[in-house]
Structure 1
């Protein structure tokens, strides 16, 4: 075998080895990229599920609910393409599309769900913070524009205000149920102040009026409780008021006699 042929064989083998190494490296790189993408998509899908299942029914606005469902549908479709043998994605897509249709059929101004305990309020606030971060990410990616982002942000802010009001009212009801009327008035007053502060951006007049009515009733109740708890003080205050009224009447009588005397003089 000539040296030329041997060299040619060696070169061919080297080329084959280099090609194999290149192809192997490419396959490994693509496999790693696919795995990283899968991991990222699964984390994103988990976060969307967390948002969908974490909020009470009818808590999110219709627009925000539709946005979250569309995002989780998009992520699940990508997962189904990367793992076509995984039947779970097909089932989830069927479920999410059905739920999206149900949300789309709901009236835009559906009655908002109210929370019933402080722990639930705290958890929902945290979910809203996560949703706000997600919206900022969508804005950065160009999925939503600046106007849409501002609209969604305002909706979240309104929900945070209502959450705070709900929290105050929960505390007020607990205080009232424990016989702490003045403390209940304090919490109701905080709720009213917050709504009054935000009423320029949102119409909260109906809620403010309702809270004012509740506060007025509790003020009467508090005064009655205080009078019953300290009858001597109540009697002293009533006697002082009666004495002041008597003195004022005497003063007015004297003033009238002076006026008559002036006229006759």
Structure 2
């Protein structure tokens, strides 16, 4: 074998090694990219399930529920394509499909679900904040139009107000049970004021009437009981602390919702 043949062989071997290294690197990068995408989708699915499971049944309006259910369905479809050998993805996809069909069948609004304990209120607050961020990300990606996104953000703000009212009513119930009738009346009055200030009184008309009847009964009791003490300093501090937690500005700090998140 002459020197030219040897050189040609070496060049071919080097070219083959370079091609092999390039192909191996490409395959490894695609595998890593696939793993990252799969991990991100699984994280997103957990977050979306958290959103739905964090609310009592019937708490979310149909439109918001459908938005979340459709996204869960899309994520499950992607996971099933990426990991077809994983049976849990097929099960999640079937479950998501069933829930989406059920959500579509909801023709009329269900009765409002009221939260009655601190844990429910705490979980609902966290989930509403996550849901607000989620809607912002869908709008950013073009999945939701600006009009639809704004409509759903307004629905979330209304739910946030509802949760705040539930919190005041719960505190009012506790105060009344403890014999602090003036404090109970304050919380009921605060609840009514929040709903009337909302500008959409018709959405809360039934609850406003209900709480006004309770407030009238409390005021009658107070007027008949001249020995009811004035609110002490601790009670006033409790009122002020509660008022400070109002969600009247829920979602106004738009920059907070624009931070990169698992929904991206």
TM-score w.r.t. length of structure 1: 0.83
Structure with greater helix percent: 1
Shift >6 Å, 4+ stretches: none
SS of the aligned residue for 1:204 comes to helix
Q: Hey, what does 2:210 align to over in structure 1?
A: 210
* Greater C-alpha radius of gyration: 1
CA contact (8 A) 2:222 2:228 kept: no
Distance 1:28 1:228 in 2: 76
Q: Hey, what does 1:246 align to over in structure 2?
A: none
What are the residue-to-residue correspondences of 1:3-152 with 2, within 5 Å?
3-152=3-152
Distance 1:54 1:200 in 2: 26
Greater CA drift, 220-229 or 141-150? 220-229
Deviation at 1:98, TM superposition (A): 1.0
1:167 aligns with 2:135: no
CA contact (8 A) 2:173 2:184 kept: yes
Distance 1:33 1:210 in 2: 56
1:193–1:223: structure 2 CA closer, same or farther, 3 Å change rule? same
CA RMSD after TM alignment: 1.5
SS of the aligned residue for 2:84 comes to coil
Structure 1: runs of 5+ lacking an equivalent = 230-265
What are the residue-to-residue correspondences of 1:210-249 with 2, within 5 Å?
210-227=210-227
CA contact (8 A) 1:199 1:205 kept: no
Distance 1:209 1:91 in 2: 46
Identify the structure with bigger relative contact order (alpha carbons < 8 Å, sequence gap 6+): 2
